[in-house]
Amino acid sequence: MTRMAWKFPLFVFLALASAFIMAGTGRSPAGSNASGAGRGEYRRPTETPYPDSNPYSAAKATLGRSLFYDTRISFSQTRSCASCHPPSRSWSDGLPIAQGEGASIMKLRTPTLDDIAWLPRLGWDGKFRDIESVTFGPILAPSNVHMTEGLLIERLSTLPTYAVLFSAAFPDKQINRRNIEMALATFERSIVSGVAPFDRWVEGDEAAIDEPAKRGFALFNGRANCSQCHSGWAFTDGSFHDIGVASGEEIGRGRYFPSSVKLKYAFKTPTLRDVSRRGPYMHDGSLATLQAVVDLYNKGGIDRPSRSELIKPLGLTETEKADLIAFLGTLSDEGELAAKAPAAVVREN
């Protein structure tokens, strides 16, 4: 895959691209239908964005891959980044709520790493400005990896292979926090969802998805109004909405904007890529199946001031709900997920 660094913020590019598409078609995504109109906005990109501050290099990606799977990043040396983000589970963990060091229970479920290179902010509540800034959050958290920066650097510095990898990846050759952040972020930006049946249909293969899925796509872009938030090829607007499901002390984006009515209980719109493999659902893992998710949206969730104006009862029939689920099933990569595991990882004692 060709790699490049964007020369302007990604949200600006997305806004301009959306405006161009809408101007060229004269309609919103809600006007799309299963006959093929509107498919163009769902075409996969051919390049992965890397920032000027951390451009791609094969050496950084190799180092980041090794760090991602290395259990020495945890205090007990039993957990790695891949413990919560295994490729075999579409880079999530299949648990309702994430578990950390010593089976510690965290507050939210593990988000997928699929296509995170395209997200402007990370975390269910958007607290991370970029992938680099995420790295030491879980590493240092007592409920997660429960490591210290000093001990991690000390461990890595004792391994000759890491000395070689860091020297190849960075001009200063240093094993330090910033280089660890940049290496892991470089590898994680390379995690891109695979081609799915939907993608083949978008490119003109009419037999790639069946008729219920095509009807579901029309509903997705039409009466069900899903595409208002799950937009573009990655099926996310990268934003935050209260969809009427959250409650209690976890208030999402509202934590950082306490005076905003609309951001209370607002959580990140997740990608729908590989969604049929990534249950349970929602930020808290409270819905076990896609059927339960569609039922929630059909009812409109909790009616309250913070609920997004886009969320309202839909009145879908059982057949229409089944069609939506059939469409969502076409967004999963047909490849073997286990094949995404790294080819080589540092294994020195």
Q: Are strands 47-49 and 267-268 parallel, antiparallel or unpaired?
A: unpaired
Q: pLDDT tens, 326-336?
A: 999 999 987 75
Q: pLDDT tens, 21-37?
A: 333 333 333 333 444 44
Band (pLDDT 50/70/90 cuts) for residue 102 is confident
| pLDDT score of 153 more than 90 | yes
Q: How far apart are CA 152 and CA 224, in angstroms?
A: 48
pTM for the whole structure = 0.84
* Domains contained in the chain, CATH given: 2-48+195-329 (1.10.760.10), 58-192 (1.10.760.10)
| pLDDT score of 346 more than 80 | no
Place of tokens 């163009």: 40
Instruction: Return the pLDDT at 4.
Output: 43
By the 8 A CB rule, do 82 and 69 touch? yes
More confident residue, 343 or 118: 118
Q: Which residues of 2-23 are buried (b: 16+ CB within 10 A; e: fewer)?
A: ebeeeeeeeeeebeeebeebee
Q: pLDDT tens, 291-311?
A: 999 999 999 989 999 999 999
| pLDDT score of 19 more than 80 | no
By the 8 A CB rule, do 252 and 242 touch? yes
Instruction: Return the pLDDT at 207.
Output: 97
Q: How far apart are CA 277 and CA 266, in angstroms?
A: 24
